[in-house]
Structures are given as C-alpha cells and as structure tokens.
Amino acid sequence: MSTAVRQPPAAGGTAERKPATLGQALRRAMRDAMADDPDVHIFGEDVGTLGGVFRVTDGLAAEFGPERCADTPLAEAGILGTAVGMAMYGLRPVVEMQFDAFALPGFEQLVSHVSRMRNRTRGRMPMPLTVRVPYGGGIGGVEHHSDSSEAYYMATPGLHVVTPATVADAYGLLRAAIASDDPVVFLEPKRLYWAKADWDPEAPEAVPGIGEAVVRRTGTSATLITYGPSVPVCLEAAEAARAEGWDLEVIDLRSLVPFDEATVTASVRRTGRAVVVHESPGFAGPGGEIAARVTERCFHYLEAPVLRVAGFDIPYPPPMLERHHLPGVDRILDAVARLQWESGWTSRQDTGRGGGAR
C-alpha cells in the first residue's frame, strides 16, 4: 500500500524541492490530515499555543482553532484515556507524548485498551488513533529525555509501531498512521527532527506504506538492519566500510510492527550476513526478535551468526556519557568485522556475494 496522499503536479510543473526538516514534514502531515478530515483532532501537553516543545504542532491551533489542536492537562494516562473515548465516538485522535519516558503513565491505557479494543469488540470498535512519541537520545537530554521504549510497544499485540528516518517518510508515514484504522505508536527520532532533505510540501513524494521496509543502500557483503535514529549512522558506517572492502546493504525497517520479514530475509539471503542496529538496550530488545526471525528463516544462507549492535543494558546514561552508549560507526564496523569473514568451511564461497576481503 502506498501513501501518495497528494498528487505531484503534472510534468513540467513548478514543484519546488527546498530543504525541509523532518519536524516540518511531520507538522505538514498533521496539517494536511486535519484539512482533509474534520475528525482528526490533535491534543497533548503544550501542543496548542506553544506548538509543542519541539514545535512540531506549530501553527496548527492558529489554523484550526484551539478545539482541533488542544492543550490538555499534564497527564498522559488522561490524554490516552480520553483519546480512547473520542475514538469510540468516531473521532481520529492524534496525541503527543512530549518525551518517550513521559509516555509511561499512559502505558496501561495503551496496553489494556488502545491495543485491545478492536479485538475485544470483534472489530466493532476500532481505535484509529495515533500516539506520537519523540524517542531516542543523542540530543544531550538529562535523565528521562532520551529513552527508547520500542520493545515495550512491540511486545503489545494490537499496536502498530512505526518510525520514520527520512523527511519524506516523516510525512508519508504520519499521514498513513493517521489514516490507519489501527492504533499506531509513531516513534519520532528526536535527534533527526532537524535533519534536512530536499522536499516539496506542496507535492510530497509517495512512500511505501506502514509495514514495508526499504533498502536505503544496496550492498553485497552484509546487511545492516536498522530503523529510526540509527539509519543515518548505519549509512555512514556503510560508507566507511568501503575502505575495508565491505559493500554493506542498509535496510530501514520504518515499521517494527508489522515487521517486513520478506524484505529483510530476501536481503540476508543475498548477503549471507546480518547485523541489527538500534539504540534501545540489546537484552530482550528488538534486535533479539529480528535476529531470531532471520536465523529461523535464513539459516542455510548465513555465513555467520546474526549480530546485534545495541544500546548497553543500562538505564539511559547522563548526557556527558551518552556517546559511549549509543551505537556509532566504529561499533557497527567492529560487529561487521566479527561476521566470520575468515570462515573457509562453507561450500558456498561465491565471489558474487562480496565481502571476505580481510
């Protein structure tokens, strides 16, 4: 499914692709969704007059009024709980959970109701709501401002878990999330809010829908499987790896649930090696699930165990130490180096599959 929400102008049109930030694309997605559908309501802490602490909802209250883009009391369970009631009545709420760690008071509503209401009511009462959560570190935030909680959400059946890494995806995936009749936890990588790309807000490019991964860089030596804030890091690592003779493929999952097994396994079957990269702690983290699935489905194609480069199994560190925690280029290259390039026992040595240059 594709999300070409706005048709690009006819050939020879005056579409102007100017640098836009990921945050601006998110804002535009909400603006266009509100314009297209009067049932879309945005609310949360500071989203109205202020435009959100990251200014992602800037101008929406002014354009659509304080009832369509509403400041709420400071209470995340209340925000999510009332969103459930609004969805019951047929609205399409989009709520903001200011920071990842501040979303936790709403966890019960999310797990006990948002994720289950469709199932509980045999499809009669869907929950078409979007929960926007700024997540991840790398912005020098003090405690509770840099968490990555995706594993909790992924472990909750009934939720879609989506995370953009590009400006075009920020728009396209958020439009798809708001339009979806399933509840979507929309994880926004904080440190990419200011990442720029050429993008035309009047003619946003179509992007693949929720549940589809995208190969951001093709390669033949090994596959880096990643998402959200780690996508640019992996692309950088792949560039650096060329010096070592490795040609790395980079997959941006875009959606952790549904998980695009087809794209991931097709890539790993081609390259024979895989590393999963994410910021959230490695133990019982998303990488464990992904590595297990890849191993179950690609065992005979693998030249090495699937490795993980993840945040350490520690509470998120203070800002002065966070660079030691976050997966960086060097740590990713170290993992790639451990993908048993020396293994000579395989009968499937195939120069066409690249790698093994060491």
User: Where do contacts with other proteins occur on this chain (CB under 8 A)?
Assistant: 41, 65-67, 70, 72-73, 75, 77-78, 80-91, 105, 108-109, 112-113, 116-126, 157-158, 160, 180-182, 211, 257-259, 261-262
C-alpha to C-alpha distance for 101 and 106, rounded to whole angstroms: 10
Q: Minimal distance in Å, beta carbon 155 to other proteins?
A: 13
Instruction: Return the beta strands (E) in the chain as ranges.
Output: 18-21, 40-44, 69-71, 92-96, 130-135, 160-162, 184-189, 196-199, 214-217, 222-226, 248-252, 255-257, 274-281, 307-311
CA-to-CA dists, residue 17 to 21, 164, 246, 289, angstroms: 12, 19, 33, 38
**Residue 4 vs 75, nearer CB to other proteins:** 75
Q: Minimal distance in Å, beta carbon 310 to other proteins?
A: 22
Token reading at 234: 């992996």
C-alpha to C-alpha distance for 355 and 220, rounded to whole angstroms: 7
**Residue 187 vs 256, nearer CB to other proteins:** 256
**Residue 59 vs 85, nearer CB to other proteins:** 85
Pairing of strands 160-162, 184-189: parallel
| All residues at 6 or more sequence positions from 10 whose CB lies less than 8 Å from its CB, including other chains | none
Q: Minimal distance in Å, beta carbon 270 to other proteins?
A: 20
- Choosing from 145, 160, 278, 325, the catalytic residue is 145
Q: Is 325 a catalytic residue?
A: no
Report CA Rg, the chain: 21
**Residue 183 vs 327, nearer CB to other proteins:** 183
Q: Minimal distance in Å, beta carbon 63 to other proteins?
A: 15
Catalytic residue numbers? 145
